[in-house]
Amino acid sequence: MWFVLSLIALLCWSGSDMFSKIGSRPSDKLSHWKMVMAVGLVMGLHAAYEVFVGGVEITWDVIVAYLPASILYILSMTLGYVGLRYIELSVSSPICNSSGGIAAVLCFLFLQEMPSLVQWIGVALVTVGVVLLGAVELTESDYAREMRQKNSRVKYDKSFLALLFPILYCVIDALGTFFDSVILREEATGTFLDRVFPTMLEEGSANVAYELTFLAVGVAAAVYVLGVRREKLTVKAEGPKLLGGVFETAGQLAYIYALGDTAHAGFAAAIIASYCALSVVWSRIFLKEKLSWKHYGAIALTVAGIVILGIFDA
C-alpha cells in the first residue's frame, strides 16, 4: 500500500504545482491571495472530516503549539504562489523543493543531529544545483530566452525578483520543517528548544491544526479579495486554483500515510521527493515551457540531492 500512496502523493503534489501555476496569471496581482483562499477552503473541509468523522482530537492548545510551523508553511506557500507569476514552473519547483537541504543543516546546528556522509552529499548537490540554476537563469541572453519561450503559454523577462520568491519559499519552508521536527519530536532534544517548545504533539492533531490555521488565513484572504478589493471570481479563472488546493491536500494526506509505513519509509520518501521532476515534465507537456540544456543539468543535480535527502530523512 505504501507504494500506491507514494505514487498518489507524487502525482498530487506535481499536479498541485501545475494547477497552481495555471491559476497564477502574471496579470492578476491578487492571484496568490486567491490561491490561499482555495487551499484554505479545501484544507478546512478536510480538517472538518478528520475531526467529525475521523475522530482526530483538536484543541486550541494544539493549534497554538503548532502555530510556528503552520505560519511558516503558509507564508512560504503564499510567497511561492506570488513567484509563479514571474518565473517558469520548471525553474521554480526544483528551487522551492530544495528546502530539505537547509532543514538538514538547521537540524545539525540546533538539534545536534549529525547528517551522514551521504546526506551531506545530498545537501551539496542541492546547493550546487540551485546556485547553477540561478546563475543560468540570470546570465541567459535575452535572445536565447525569447527563442526558447517562443511556444510557451507565458513569456518571462530575466529578473532577480523572479528567483527571489522561490528562494524565499525554500528558506522559510526549511524553517517550517525545522520547527515541525521540534514540535513533533518523540523525545527531548537536550537543547534550549525544549524550554521554548515544551509540548510534543501527535502528528494527526498537528496536521489538523495546520489545516485549520490555513482555513483562517484563507478566510482573511477572502475578506480582503472579495470585501476590500471587490474582485469578481469566475469558474474559468479560479477553477485551476481550487484544483491546486485539492491536489495539495490530497498529496499531504497520502504523504503522511505513505511515510507511516516505517518499514518502507525510505523508499516512499525517495519516490515522493522526486515530484518536482514530474512538475518539470508536466510544465513541458501542458504549459509548453522549454528550458536550455544548462537549466536541465542544474535541475537534475537538484533533484538528485532532494531524492537523497528524502531517502535518508525517512
pLDDT, tens digit (0-9, with 9 covering 90-100), for 222-272? 999 999 999 998 888 899 999 999 999 999 888 888 876 656 666 777 788
Residue 106 has pLDDT above 60, yes or no: yes
Q: 297 — phi, psi (to 5°)?
A: -65, -45
Residue 105 has pLDDT above 60, yes or no: yes
Retrieve residue 230's grid coordinates. Answer: 471587490
Q: Stretch 14-35: mean pLDDT, rounded?
A: 93
The DSSP letter of residue 223 is: I
The domain limits of the chain are 2-313
Residue 221 has pLDDT above 90, yes or no: yes
Band the pLDDT of 107: cuts 50, 70, 90.
confident
Q: Which residues contact 174 (CB under 8 A, 6 or more apart)?
A: 99, 100, 101, 102, 103, 106
Query: What is residue 255's predicted lDDT score, i.e. its pLDDT?
Result: 86
Query: What is residue 180's predicted lDDT score, i.e. its pLDDT?
Result: 85
Query: What is residue 173's predicted lDDT score, i.e. its pLDDT?
Result: 93
Band the pLDDT of 313: cuts 50, 70, 90.
low
- Rounded CA gap, 194 and 200, in Å? 9
Chain mean position to CA 73: 8
Query: What is residue 117's predicted lDDT score, i.e. its pLDDT?
Result: 86
Band the pLDDT of 66: cuts 50, 70, 90.
very high
Average confidence score pLDDT of the chain: 88
CA distances from 115 to 86, 108, 144 (A): 35, 7, 40
- Rounded CA gap, 293 and 296, in Å? 5
Residue 165 has pLDDT above 60, yes or no: yes
Q: Which residue has the higher pLDDT, 9 or 200?
A: 9
- Rounded CA gap, 285 and 126, in Å? 25
Band the pLDDT of 145: cuts 50, 70, 90.
confident
- Rounded CA gap, 304 and 44, in Å? 34
Query: What is residue 213's predicted lDDT score, i.e. its pLDDT?
Result: 97
* Residue 83 · residue 169 · CB < 8 Å: yes
Band the pLDDT of 157: cuts 50, 70, 90.
confident
Residue 166 has pLDDT above 90, yes or no: yes
- Rounded CA gap, 10 and 15, in Å? 8
Query: What is residue 257's predicted lDDT score, i.e. its pLDDT?
Result: 81
